[in-house]
Amino acid sequence: METEKVKCLIIGSGPAGYTAAIYAARANLSPVLYEGLQPGGQLTTTTDIENFPGYPEGVSGTQMMEDLRKQAERFGTDLRFGIATAADLNQSPYKVTIDEEKVIEAQTIIIATGATAKYLGLEDEKKYAGMGVSACATCDGFFYRKKVVAVVGGGDTACEEAEYLAGLASKVYLIVRKPFLRASKIMQERVMKNEKIEALFEHNAVGLFGENGVEGVHLVKRMGEADEERYDVAIDGFFLAIGHKPNSDIFKPYLDTDKVGYIMTEPGTPRTKVPGVFAAGDVADPHYRQAITAAATGCMAAIEAERYLLN
């Protein structure tokens, strides 16, 4: 198998990966960045971004990622297509296999592989992606001011998203598969007291409809039971809040992760338990999952990599 030695390997190409590349390249670390399955990351599926500083008129997710990519390239980052398929972090130089055919031996590694939002698996979720379907209320809620939206989920995340959206939308339906909420008691109380939020217990969303975007959701109440009921509800936005899966599987044998799979780092830093290996962006962030926070940790990871190499 072909082997290549590098100073700094960056895995992933969202805001964290590209920002890390910009800083690492400017520090003369000659970074090599593998863009992964989805160059640009989750933001390339977002139509408009209005909350990233520096874009007063807003920008499409694809355009913003292209801007970051060009900036990383301008300073000399070696950008490559490829997927990390295996890793060996037992000793330095650390080894990462790309596409099961090439081994990169790296003195430092920045893991910026992100997290993938969980979806229900409906065809309509793909059909209306960026046209009313979202997995991030903080990112896209602003577009639904004084409109009607639905949030799918029954845990803390779903309740938090419903609460956030209730501050913007005229009405929020919380679609809960079970006859109860799994969220913490305080979050349950907040949701149930909010006049704008209506919890639909024992409901499943089975489809969406609309001409040029989401106009409604097909619901089934008590699916599979004798009193099963099917009906439609008019909505403008459909938010998934059933969790994220961090893309950390190949690193789990070597790094500490939480029960979901988020890579654990030293508080306030991107340092993992393996010296010279850093985690940035959503793969290590179960709380914020924003482009701006991902970019910030990408910056931190590159600075840490530079200091590690100097020492």
Mean pLDDT per 10-residue segment, the chain (311 residues): 96 96 98 87 74 90 93 97 96 96 97 93 93 90 96 93 96 97 93 97 97 96 95 97 93 96 97 98 92 97 98 89
pTM listed for this prediction: 0.81
Q: What is the DSSP string of 201-234?
A: ETEEEEEEE-SSS--EEEEEESTTSTT-EEEEEE
Closest CA to 278 of 20, 19, 6: 20
Catalytic residue among 48, 67, 88, 136: 136
Structure confidence at residue 138 (pLDDT): 84
139 is catalytic: yes
Structure confidence at residue 45 (pLDDT): 66
For the four alpha carbons of 189, 191, 193 and 198, in that order, the dihedral sign comes to negative
Long-range contacts for 284-289 (Cβ within 8 Å, ≥24 apart)?
284/111, 284/246, 285/115, 286/244, 286/246, 286/258, 286/260, 286/262, 289/115, 289/136, 289/244
Type and span of the H or E element at 266? none
156 is catalytic: no
Closest CA to 175 of 220, 225, 234: 220
Structure confidence at residue 49 (pLDDT): 84
- For β-strands 2-11 and 171-176, DSSP reports them as unpaired
Structure confidence at residue 244 (pLDDT): 87
Structure confidence at residue 117 (pLDDT): 86
Catalytic residue among 8, 139, 159, 299: 139
* Residue 44 contacts residue 62 (beta carbons within 8 Å): yes
Residue 294, CA distances (Å) to 15, 26, 36, 93, 257 in order = 6, 19, 17, 26, 18
Catalytic residue among 8, 124, 140, 159: 140
Structure confidence at residue 42 (pLDDT): 74
Closest CA to 242 of 173, 185, 176: 176
3-state SS assignment for residue 100 = coil
140 is catalytic: yes
Residue 56, CA distances (Å) to 26, 52, 65, 136 in order = 27, 9, 16, 21
Residue 250 dihedral angles phi and psi, to the nearest 5°:
-70, -15
Structure confidence at residue 47 (pLDDT): 64
**Residues written for the chain:** 311
